[in-house]
Amino acid sequence: MSTADADTVYLDYASSTPVRDGVKKAMEPYWSDVFANPQSQHSSGKEARAAVTDARETIANMLSVQPSEIVFTSGATEANALAVQGYLKTLDENWRRLITTQTAHSSQRHADAGIKTQKELLVGKDEGRLVPDQVTSAVVSDNDLISIPYVNSEVLYLSVRPEDTGADMMTTNSHKLYGPKGVGLLWVRSGTPMTSLLPTKKDQVVGDYQTLRPGTLPVPLIVGFAKALELAQKNFQKRAKQVSAVRDFALTELQKTFPEIVINGSVEHRVANNINVSFPAVDHDYLATKLDKQGVIVSTASACQSGQSGSTTIKALPSRSNSALRISLGRDTNRAAIRRLVDTLENIQKTD
């Protein structure tokens, strides 16, 4: 059974999204026609390099940042590691402190692996959300690195401009916004000291951060990433309202059909495409497997936690549920898909 099958209802968009047609079209010339190494100095290499430069400038303009502040990576996991380790390694080991949360992505919580660091894990108080005073009270030095997810993928439909967050670094992923897998980015505010995780000509960088990650750039993926971000910005608010309406319909139907259900995380402060619920005394892996067999695709944790016992995010919430169903909506998810989900869940409970 493929996720492209007409009978399949895919509700795991927080894990990955399909590549949009416009993105595939933008990438096409760079697979076989403009295929040269962008670092080569001949004319073909310069053509490929120009595509990367254009993509970098497109992304920089959309994020309202400088092109030199953007580092392309293999994805957000690598970008998180580069952000945390690249900064901490510029400090004396006696000044290395990492402040993050129990609900952060594992690539944030464990990004300091192998580096002598004092780490503090904050626990959300407001339905899993952090109270600002928790963060400020945890800071003891101007050198402290605070690594907190903008939004938790288990519980994007938010502005990704750094100026809206006040951050000094930000990571994002292509395949979460209808772009290709295998590419992400790290944005670093100019003046932030960083060092590469791989051998480079420079020990420390405070200006042109492109040099933080040596190696041949994946031109098609970078071009596709830029196009995906460009398309995601169009009609952003209108699309968020549409998805929110479907999400609210889903929450209403689930609570009406299953009064015992627990909504994980804040209902008021919930991103447009996220539904996260727990069924008391139910094995959620079993439930997700039964849904899968009937053509409804959901998850029980973020993909990076696959194979673990339960979700670290859900365990850290006030409800203290062991696991949950993460139901994440896409730009084309409609009420019929939600109706199918609810009906299938109801049939599973009736037959078990």
The secondary structure of 203-265 as a DSSP string is S-BSS-GGGGS-S---HHHHHHHHHHHHHHHTTHHHHHHHHHHHHHHHHHHHHHH-TT-EE-S
**Strands, E assignment, the chain:** 9-10, 70-73, 97-101, 118-122, 145-146, 169-173, 184-188, 262-263, 274-278, 296-297, 325-328
pLDDT of residue 268: 82
pLDDT over 60 at 252, yes or no: yes
User: Do 164 and 58 touch, CB atoms closer than 8 A?
Assistant: no
Q: Is 272 helix (H, G, I), strand (E, B) or coil?
A: coil
- What are the tens digits of pLDDT across the range 171-191? 999 999 999 999 999 999 999
Helix, strand, coil percentages, rounded to 5, for the chain? 40, 15, 45
Domains of the chain: which residue ranges?
9-18+236-351
Q: Which pLDDT band holds residue 155 (cuts at 50, 70, 90)?
A: very low
Which comes out higher in pLDDT, residue 163 or 183? 183
- What are the tens digits of pLDDT across the range 217-236? 999 999 999 999 999 988 88
Taking the C-alpha atoms of residue 87 and residue 96, their distance in angstroms, rounded to an integer, is 9
Which comes out higher in pLDDT, residue 204 or 275? 275
pLDDT of residue 321: 54
Whose tokens are 């990576």? That residue is 73
pLDDT over 60 at 316, yes or no: no
User: Do 160 and 172 touch, CB atoms closer than 8 A?
Assistant: yes
CATH of domain 9-18+236-351: 3.90.1150.10
pLDDT over 80 at 126, yes or no: no
